Amino acid sequence: MVNIRMATVADLIEMQQCNLWCLPENYQMKYYFYHQLTWPQLLWVAEDFDGRIVGYVLAKMEENEDTTAPDYVPHGHITSLAVLRTHRKRGIATMLMRRAQLEMEQVMGAKYVSLHVRKSNRAAFHLYSETLAYEINDIERGYYADGEDAYDMRCTFAKHREREAAKNAAAAAAAAVTEVAEGVGKLVTA
């Protein structure tokens, strides 16, 4: 069992350590501090029963655009997501992402969130595209330091809510059909 909670300054060293263990893209401590000071609501950690950080999400609001432009749309970006190998396949990355996305939308007013993922990272691509409903926006050639291409992916919050509502409605309809079928079955056998 893990606890998902907002990160504090005291967590930054363990977050960086988790990053170093899990990912080839690493950041200096000042980058973590910058995120913590600027967007504290968008940094989340997963801690195990001993209080050890086993995963994190580092997110931000995009700020390099003209916010006064008429076509400006506030949006967030997932800078980094990592979960220790010993704790993968437990839904931790999904929980971290959903929490950061919720804060982006409800607290920061984001309309969508973007991220980059290596084309070769099939597990992450599956998480983003299948579980979290991200869509490929573009391919950025040579995005990573080693020259690998990246998928530029986006999740639009309004579209995501519509998909979730449709999925829930379909599940409710299927449950109702099953209930009716069971009721008919009982009448026939009675």
pLDDT of 67 over the 80 cut? no
Output the average pLDDT for the chain: 88
pLDDT of 34 over the 90 cut? yes
pLDDT, residue 108, reads 92
Mean pLDDT of 61-86: 86
Residue percentage of the chain with pLDDT more than 90 = 71
pLDDT of 151 over the 60 cut? yes
Q: Are 81 and 93 in contact (CB under 8 A)?
A: yes
Closest CA to 54 of 102, 89, 103, 25: 89
Quote the CA–CA distance of 110 and 165 in Å, as a whole number: 20
CA 181 to chain centroid, in Å, comes to 38
Backbone angles phi, psi at 44, to 5 degrees: -130, 145
Say whether 89 sits in a helix, a strand or coil.
coil
Q: Are 60 and 27 in contact (CB under 8 A)?
A: no
Backbone angles phi, psi at 121, to 5 degrees: -90, 80
Task: Give 107-128 pLDDT, tens digit per residue.
Answer: 999 999 999 999 999 999 999 9
pLDDT, residue 166, reads 54
Quote the CA–CA distance of 107 and 86 in Å, as a whole number: 32
Q: Measured between alpha carbons, how far is residue 108 from residues 29, 42, 59, 101, 187 in Å? A: 24, 9, 12, 10, 54
Instruction: Write out the two tokens for 137.
Output: 């926006």
pLDDT confidence tier of residue 1, bands split at 50, 70 and 90? confident
Quote the CA–CA distance of 58 and 65 in Å, as a whole number: 20
pLDDT confidence tier of residue 38, bands split at 50, 70 and 90? very high
The three-point CA angle 68-106-79 to 5° equals 75
pLDDT confidence tier of residue 21, bands split at 50, 70 and 90? very high
